[in-house]
A = this chain, B = another copy of it.
Amino acid sequence: RHYRIAVIPGDGIGKEVVPEGVRILEAAAETFGFRLDLQHHAFGSCDYYAEHGTMLPANWKEILTPTDAIFFGAVGWPATVPDHVSLWGSLLQFRREFDQYVNLRPVRLMPGVPCPLAGREPGDIDFYVVRENTEGEYSSVGGTMYPGTEREIVIQETVMSRHGVDRILKFAFDLAQSRDKKHLTSATKSNGIAITMPYWDQRVEAMGERYPDVAYDKYHIDILTAHFVLNPDRFDVVVGSNLFGDILSDLGPACTGTIGIAPSANINPEGRFPSLFEPVHGSAPDIAGRGIANPVGQIWTAAMMLEHLGEVEAANAIVAAIETALREPASRTRDLKGTATTREAAEAVLRAFAAV
């Protein structure tokens, strides 16, 4: 087995945690006997932008298309490049151009992570957020009338296609069907967003008919966020539009203690294009450059990537090593009330991995 992986650290703490993710990947390759061809890229960062005036080289598609996966850090450095420029020039473009229409994010309460919710134990919270990743509220259609005047009006369109909605719902129902609870929750807001969201609901109902063994319910996004806090044990698979999935996949990890350790996969399920794997956290300018960022999100992301590539055993071993390491305060970074630096926290996972 041989995998070509593009490595794009991006900005801020991305540059600090990606090398730690790479080390666990190399250890896994060694232990589980596969080969990795890692191609490191400086593009997809605001440093690159400063030099070239674009986030990506013109031939980025030719460079990345032949890879098996993209291992991504985080992008964004608002002090020099506005977020909507850096993001739409890199990450959001990858998602769209590589048709990574599934954004998959596990929400799991891990041992050793201080949980902000009272009385919850590891094992109580364990579900997936499935987010539509290519259309919906993240559209590039719209504009401004009477710019700069009192009459200024700004319009942006949310666009949902049957193609786009049905394929993400199918992925979510398939995932729910493969799990013990076989339960799906759909995020909606059809009472307020009364054109696109009733359509989303309709497609959920149509898809639901094809999965008689999956029980599903629909919650408006407002009350759904309340249930994440009040009843997080209720969920199994939660599916939402691009925006709702984005919100729920930060809120979910926060309910399990931190977004600092959460991984995510941007998947093109058909495999026509490479999928992209990145932690849920961003580039965190406030703590960048200090060697204190939590590397666990990037390391867990490495596990998700390996699972996607078929290296399930290696992936499980990494997750087990994370769980072992997190139990020790000395192996946790300070966002988790530990004392470790990025390096030390990553070392602890590597040691636990070697011992598996």
Contacts and interface: CB of A to CB of B under 8 A. Distances in A.
A126 interface: no
Contact of A222 (B162, B221, B249): B249
A259 B226 CA distance: 8
Contacts of A323: none
A192 to B, nearest CB: 5
Nearest to A150: B162
A287 interface: no
A222 B193 contact: no
* Integer count of this chain's copies in the complex: 2
Interface stretch (A137-145, A172-180, A344-352): A137-145
Contacts of A118: 115-119
A191 B159 contact: no
**Size category, A interface:** 35 or more
A195 B147 CA distance: 13
A303 interface: no
B157 A155 contact: yes
* Main DSSP-derived SS at the A contact region: mixed
9 contacts: A137-B192, A151-B163, A153-B160, A156-B157, A156-B193, A157-B157, A158-B158, A192-B246, A222-B250
Interface string A232-260: 00000000001100110111011100110
Q: Which of A155, A253, A259 has the most CB atoms of chain B within a 10 A radius of its CB?
A: A155
A154 B196 contact: yes
A234 to B, nearest CB: 13
A194 interface: yes
Given A143-B195, A250-B222, A158 B159 contact: no
Contact of A196 (B155, B225, B251): B155
A193 B88 CA distance: 10
A143 B84 CA distance: 27
Nearest to A282: B223
B230 A250 contact: no
Contact of A150 (B143, B157, B163, B282): B163
Contacts of A288: none
A42 interface: no
A152 interface: yes
Contacts of A82: 190, 198
Contacts of A226: 250-251, 253-254, 259
Interface string A101-128: 0000000000000011111000000000
Nearest to A253: B226
